[in-house]
Each structure stands twice: as C-alpha cells, then as structure tokens.
Amino acid sequence: MKINDLFSVEKKVVLITGGSRGIGEMLASGFLANGAKVYISSRKSKDCDSTAKRLSEKYKNECISFPADISDLQGINKLFNKFAEENSSLDILINNAGAVWGEPFDSFSEDGWDKVMDLNVKSIFFMIQKFSSLLKKKASTENPARIINIGSIDGINTPYYENYSYSIAKSAVHKLTSVLAARLIKENIICNAIAPGPFPSKMLGSAVEHDYSVISKKNPSRRVGRPEDIAGLALFLSSKAGQYTVGETITCDGGLVASAGHDLTND
C-alpha cells in the first residue's frame, strides 16, 4: 500500500508517439522523472532528437529519439523494426501522435478528413497491432503491460471550433480503446484512454495565438492543464495502482466535461 510501490514505473520501458512536444513531452517528462526508460517518436527528426537530448539532461535519465512518420503502415513498420532491434519487450505504449484540421463545413476537404483519420485513428490501431507482440513478452496477470491512447474532450463534447474530422476521430479513439481493451486484457495488456482538455501546445496555441487566458477563464478550474496533471494520470494508469482500471476513457480537463451546459458566469 506504500506510494513508492503502488505508483512505481521505475525501469519500465516506455514508447511515446508524438513525444517531441506538447502533451507527449509532458508525458515523457513524468516517466523520466520516475526512473523509466523512455523512447519518443515524432515525424520531425530534428525536433525529436533535440527533445530527447534536453529531457535526458534535465532528468539525468535515458530518453531515446526514434523519429518516424506513423501515418501509414510503412512508417509504423519502420518504427517497430528499429525499436525491436534494441528491445525484446515493451512495458508501456502511449499513442499520442495526432493531427488537427480546421475548415468551414461547406469547404471541408477530403485531405483534411483523411489526414486526421489516418494519424488519429488508423495509426493507433496498427501501432497496437504491431507492438502487441512486444507488449505480451513480459506481461503477466501480476504485472500487465499497458497501452494509453490519447483522445480528447472534443470526442465527448460538441467542439466549439469547426474541426469535424478531429472530434469524430477522437470519439473513435475512445471507442477503439474499449473494444481493444476487451480483447487485450486476455493477454495481460491493459488498454485505457485519456481525454485531455486544454493544455499548452503548438496545436492549441495556433488556435488561440498562444494566449490561454480566454480558455482559462472558461474553465471551471480557471486554468489550462499543467504537465503534472497529464503525467500524473498516465503514471497512475501505468502503475500497480491502475492495474484494475480497464477500457476507460478518463477526462483530464479541469471540469469542462462535467460542467458542459452549466452556466458558470455567476460562479
């Protein structure tokens, strides 16, 4: 029952897609700070290498850069082969890589639809399919492997912005999580999802010109997310403490989903 035992991820091997910035970097930081060996992947080699070097120095721990474009099967296979050359097993897979596309309904493009669906949904399924062999290697009833899929509250609420394919894709991520959880728990792999609200990131920043004050005022918690918010939840799901939580989509949003439709102007 001691915290150090319940929440430990020490010496675990973790792979985080989209790990070079934003929520992916926050998650990598949390695992590195607690003794895990972390691999991060992203499409841009320079960014991925730079983040891995910076995080390794900051946390005095090993963060390894494996750049890859996982929007198609060729990229997923390339990442798997590179990872498998160095590791015979994997403890924790975090599917965080994603894209967003905003465009008015009347002109919303096929490119905007396909790009988001391919990276946000298709790639998660095939990443799990490919890496399941490594996740099963050391997994047991007493020490299951973990998968965490990063969804979004836009997949739960109706989004404010016209990001049609994004919100629908994230809703699909939540459903995919529960479907695969039922299949994979039989092989000692626990699958859950996190649905983040607003966190500082390049994706959100471009929508609000990196001024998060308006979003903060609309949030019941009066702020945007912090690294410890998302990392803490991921550490719980990856540790002994989260071992009996299976197939869930957990919001991490400061109360936005819980307060949807509630007038906060007089609070």
18 residue type, one letter: G
Residues with a catalytic annotation lie at 166
Judge whether 77 and 71 are in contact, CB under 8 Å: no
Helices then strands, counting H and E runs in the chain, come out as 10, 7
Judge whether 39 and 24 are in contact, CB under 8 Å: no
Please tell me whether residue 147 adopts helix, strand or coil conformation: strand
To which residue do tokens 């399941």 refer? 132
The answer to whether the Cα torsion of 71, 14, 195, 54 is positive or negative is negative
DSSP per-residue string spanning 113-151: HHHHHIIIIIHHHHHHHHHHHHHHHS--SSS-EEEEEE-
Judge whether 147 and 184 are in contact, CB under 8 Å: yes
Candidates 195, 181, 74, 192; CA nearest to 130 is: 74
Query: Which residues, listed in sequence order, are joined to residue 193 by a DSSP beta bridge?
Result: 149, 249
